[in-house]
Homo-oligomer: A and B are copies of this chain.
Amino acid sequence: MTTENKRHALGESTLAAITGGSGAAVVESLKDIAPDLAEWIISFSYGDVMARPGLDLRSRQFATIAALTAMGTATSQLRVHIHGALNVGCQPSEIIEAILQMAVFAGFPAAINGLNVAREVFRECDVTVGT
C-alpha cells in the first residue's frame, strides 16, 4: 500500500471510530463543491492528526469539544464531536463538564451555547445525563 493509501485508510478508520460515519459520506457531501477538502478531512485531519498514538481518543475529544465551545463559531462541528465523544467512550456527564469548564476560560455565553448543542445531541442519541 502506498503512503498516500495508508494515510487515507488510517483516516477512514479513525473517522469511523470517532464520528461513526464513513469517508464515503464525507466525500459525497463535498463532491459538488470541494472534493479535495473531503480527502484532506480524511487523510490529514483524521489520518495524520487524530489518529496519532500519542494521545488517547477520549482526551482528544475533550480537547476538541472544549476548543469548539470556546471558539463559538463552529456549532455543527461541535455537534459532530459531541457525538464523537460518546462514540469513543466519554460519558455524557464528562462531556458536560468539559463544556461547563469553558465558562471560566471563554465566558458563560460560550458554555451555555455549548450545552445547548450537547442537549440536542443527547436527545438524538437518547442519552441521559447521570447527574
Contact = CB atoms under 8 A, between A and B. Distances in A.
Contacts of A106: 67, 71, 106-107
A18 to B, nearest CB: 12
Interface residues of A, number: 64
A122 B113 CA distance: 23
Give how many copies assemble into the complex.
6
Interface in A85-110: 93-94, 96-98, 100-110
A10 interface: no
B104 A49 contact: yes
A54 to B, nearest CB: 4
17 contacts: A4-B7, A34-B115, A34-B131, A44-B44, A49-B101, A50-B104, A54-B93, A55-B62, A55-B101, A63-B102, A64-B101, A67-B102, A70-B107, A73-B73, A103-B107, A105-B107, A106-B107
Interface of A: 2-4, 7, 30, 32-37, 40-41, 44-45, 48-50, 52, 54-55, 58-60, 62-74, 76-77, 93-94, 96-98, 100-113, 115, 118-119, 122, 129, 131
